[in-house]
């Protein structure tokens, strides 16, 4: 690679997509600076609900070199099982019914962050990655008379120039400050209260199942085995999710913790021991959801790519958020590499523009498919409609046992679906790669 084709790249956000992008891109020989608003001290205690890593995400984690670490912390998930209050099956999906090598992982967000973070600092080859904390980024700008793009801060300072900027800062993104960048956002009425709890009686962690109890479309309890935290290696954890309207957060707390526990217990008595671990409302974290759509995943004016939730946030019904961000990072790094190889005799700007177009073309249809499915499923599991809840309870269970529809459901769950073309999948190495 010639000197002019060694890029200086700025990344805004140090979550899953930002860290994965930094690792992949640095391996190509480029210089990376990550800008993170969190302080260095707060990075020692990352927060966030437990998450599900699907086969397509696990394959990217293997490419990142951290799969073994993730498997040592995570809990294997082989089964998705949802029941109504009365015990009727709504979802009953086993990964093995698609491919007996496949499984998912329930994971503490701290474990994923720590594995990615350590991959940067424990590897001498990652010396070209610089992390700037306490960075309150406001916008991405072009400065008249200067080449490249600049990251502007809330205090008016600018950092740059950069040949390429990657925005990976989540739902509350600086994307909204880039006035010429088109994006559309819808906030959902429903969110959830969540907590990560030690499963001291092993009531759920040994079942290898993402388990849900449902009462029409307005009430959902989710229990995800979450493995261990890097800071609590001897405690097996479960993530508890209680779906409710965002406007009801205050009233739930006003009625008292014991009232909420009783409601959860009535829906699923097996949670008794877990609920005993929750001593106050400080252990229940409020989460809100939104849907973000970008017609184009890049901005050619500032040479900026958008990845992860800042570009395509969805509700959690498909459990694909972290997986989509990981694949974004992989695809973008491949687009950069192939564009530079094709344009070695051309300008840096030409290579970057080609990479942005390639990234957009490869990702947009897959992302739109998953976003559409998420939008369709959200009212099925989180809405006020009794009719939708009744129809769901009537139809989804039988569809899980009908081989053609079961296969379609499983390919979507695993991340293997081929852009909505029924009963077709992407290449096996993209979702089976972690098993090889």
Give the mean pLDDT of the chain: 93
Q: What is the pLDDT of residue 125?
A: 60
Cα(167)–Cα(12) distance, rounded to whole angstroms? 5
Neighbours of 176 (CB within 10 A): 13
Residues 6+ apart with CB under 8 A from 258: none
| 372-416 confidence digits (pLDDT tens) | 999 999 999 999 999 999 999 999 999 999 999 999 999 999 999
Cα(90)–Cα(213) distance, rounded to whole angstroms? 9
pTM of the model: 0.95
Q: What is the average pLDDT across 325-352?
A: 87
Give the largest CA-CA distance in the chain. 69
Kindly state whether residue 48 falls inside one of the protein's structural domains.
yes
In the structure encoding, which two tokens stand for residue 360, read together? 């957009």
| 91-101 confidence digits (pLDDT tens) | 999 999 999 99
Kindly state whether residue 169 falls inside one of the protein's structural domains.
yes
- Identify the H or E element spanning 232: strand 232-245
Kindly state whether residue 176 falls inside one of the protein's structural domains.
yes
Question: Phi/psi class of residue 158: alpha, beta or left (left: φ > 0; alpha: ψ in -120 to 50)?
Answer: beta
Q: What 3-state DSSP class applies to 62?
A: helix
Helices and strands, number each (H, E), in the chain: 13, 21
Q: Is the pLDDT of residue 133 over 90?
A: yes
Order of strands across the sheet that contains 51-53: 51-53, 104-107, 75-77
Kindly state whether residue 283 falls inside one of the protein's structural domains.
no
Q: Is the pLDDT of residue 335 over 80?
A: yes
Are 187 and 313 within 8 A, CB to CB? no
Q: Is the pLDDT of residue 333 over 60?
A: yes
Q: What is the average pLDDT across 129-135?
A: 94
> CA angle, corner 379, sides to 375 and 384, nearest 5?
155
Going along 111-215, which residue ranges are E strands?
129-132, 137-142, 149-153, 158-162, 164-167, 184-187, 190-198, 209-215
Q: Is the pLDDT of residue 344 over 80?
A: no
| 242-252 confidence digits (pLDDT tens) | 999 999 999 99
Cα(119)–Cα(256) distance, rounded to whole angstroms? 43
Kindly state whether residue 228 falls inside one of the protein's structural domains.
no
Q: Is the pLDDT of residue 345 over 80?
A: no
Report how far apart the first and last C-alpha atoms of the chain are (Å, whole number): 31
10 Å CB burial of residue 78 (0-12, 13-18, 19+) is: middle
Kindly state whether residue 219 falls inside one of the protein's structural domains.
no
Q: Is the pLDDT of residue 166 over 80?
A: yes
In the structure encoding, which two tokens stand for residue 286, read together? 């409020």
Going along 278-383, which residue ranges are E strands?
285-287, 290-293, 298-299, 304-306
Q: What 3-state DSSP class applies to 103?
A: coil
Are 225 and 106 within 8 A, CB to CB? yes
Kindly state whether residue 207 falls inside one of the protein's structural domains.
no
| 175-229 confidence digits (pLDDT tens) | 999 988 999 999 999 999 999 999 998 889 889 999 999 999 999 999 999 999 9
Per the structure, how many domains does the chain have? Answer: 1
Q: Hunting for tokens 């096996």 — which residue is that?
A: 428
| Phi, psi torsion values for 280, nearest 5 degrees | -160, 170
DSSP class of residue 247? G
Neighbours of 185 (CB within 10 A): 14
Q: What is the pLDDT of residue 252?
A: 97
Name the residue range of residue 397's domain. Answer: 3-187+290-435
Q: Is the pLDDT of residue 343 over 80?
A: no
Q: What 3-state DSSP class applies to 159?
A: strand
Q: What is the average pLDDT across 144-165?
A: 92
Q: What 3-state DSSP class applies to 157?
A: coil
Q: Is the pLDDT of residue 349 over 90?
A: no
CATH at residue 409: 3.50.50.60
Residues 6+ apart with CB under 8 A from 87: none
Q: Is the pLDDT of residue 279 over 90?
A: yes
Kindly state whether residue 248 falls inside one of the protein's structural domains.
no
Confidence bin at 2 (pLDDT 50/70/90): very low
């Amino acid at each position: 690679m010639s000197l002019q084709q060694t890029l200086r790249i700025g990344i805004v956000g140090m979550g899953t997509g930002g860290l994965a992008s930094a690792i992949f891109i640095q391996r190509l020989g480029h210089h990376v600076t990550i800008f993170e608003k969190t302080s260095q001290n707060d990075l020692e205690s990352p927060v966030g609900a437990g998450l599900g890593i699907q086969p397509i995400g696990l394959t990217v984690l293997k490419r990142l070199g951290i799969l073994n670490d993730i498997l040592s912390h995570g809990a294997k998930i082989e089964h998705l099982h949802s029941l109504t209050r009365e015990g009727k099956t709504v979802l009953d999906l086993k990964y093995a019914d698609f491919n007996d090598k496949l499984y998912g992982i329930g994971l503490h967000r701290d474990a994923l962050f720590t594995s990615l973070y350590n991959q940067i600092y424990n590897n001498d080859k990652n010396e070209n990655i610089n992390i700037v904390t306490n960075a309150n980024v406001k916008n991405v700008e072009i400065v008249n008379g200067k080449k490249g793009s600049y990251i502007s801060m809330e205090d008016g300072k600018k950092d740059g120039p950069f040949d390429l900027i990657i925005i990976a800062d989540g739902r509350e993104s600086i994307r909204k400050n880039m006035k010429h960048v088109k994006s559309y956002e819808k906030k959902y009425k429903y969110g959830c209260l969540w907590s990560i709890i030690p499963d001291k009686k092993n009531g759920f962690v040994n079942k290898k199942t993402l388990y849900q109890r449902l009462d029409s479309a307005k009430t959902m309890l989710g229990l995800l085995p979450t493995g261990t935290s890097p800071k609590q290696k001897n405690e097996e954890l479960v993530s508890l999710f209680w779906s409710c309207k965002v406007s009801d957060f205050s009233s739930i707390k006003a009625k008292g913790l014991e009232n909420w526990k009783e409601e959860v217990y009535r829906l699923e008595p097996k949670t008794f021991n877990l609920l005993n671990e929750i001593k106050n409302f400080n252990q229940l974290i409020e989460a809100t959801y939104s849907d973000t759509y970008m017609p184009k995943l890049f901005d050619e004016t500032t040479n900026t790519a958008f990845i992860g939730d800042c570009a395509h946030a969805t509700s959690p019904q498909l459990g694909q958020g972290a997986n989509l961000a990981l694949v974004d990072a992989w695809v973008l790094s491949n687009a950069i590499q192939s564009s530079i190889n094709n344009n070695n005799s051309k300008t840096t700007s030409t290579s970057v523009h080609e990479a942005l177009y390639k990234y957009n073309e490869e990702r947009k249809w897959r992302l739109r498919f998953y976003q559409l499915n998420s939008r369709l499923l959200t009212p099925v599991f989180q809405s006020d409609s009794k009719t939708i809840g009744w129809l769901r309870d009537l139809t989804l269970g039988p569809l899980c046992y009908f081989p053609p529809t079961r296969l379609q459901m499983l390919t979507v769950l695993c991340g293997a679906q081929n852009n909505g073309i029924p009963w077709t999948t992407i290449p096996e190495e993209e979702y089976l790669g972690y098993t090889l």
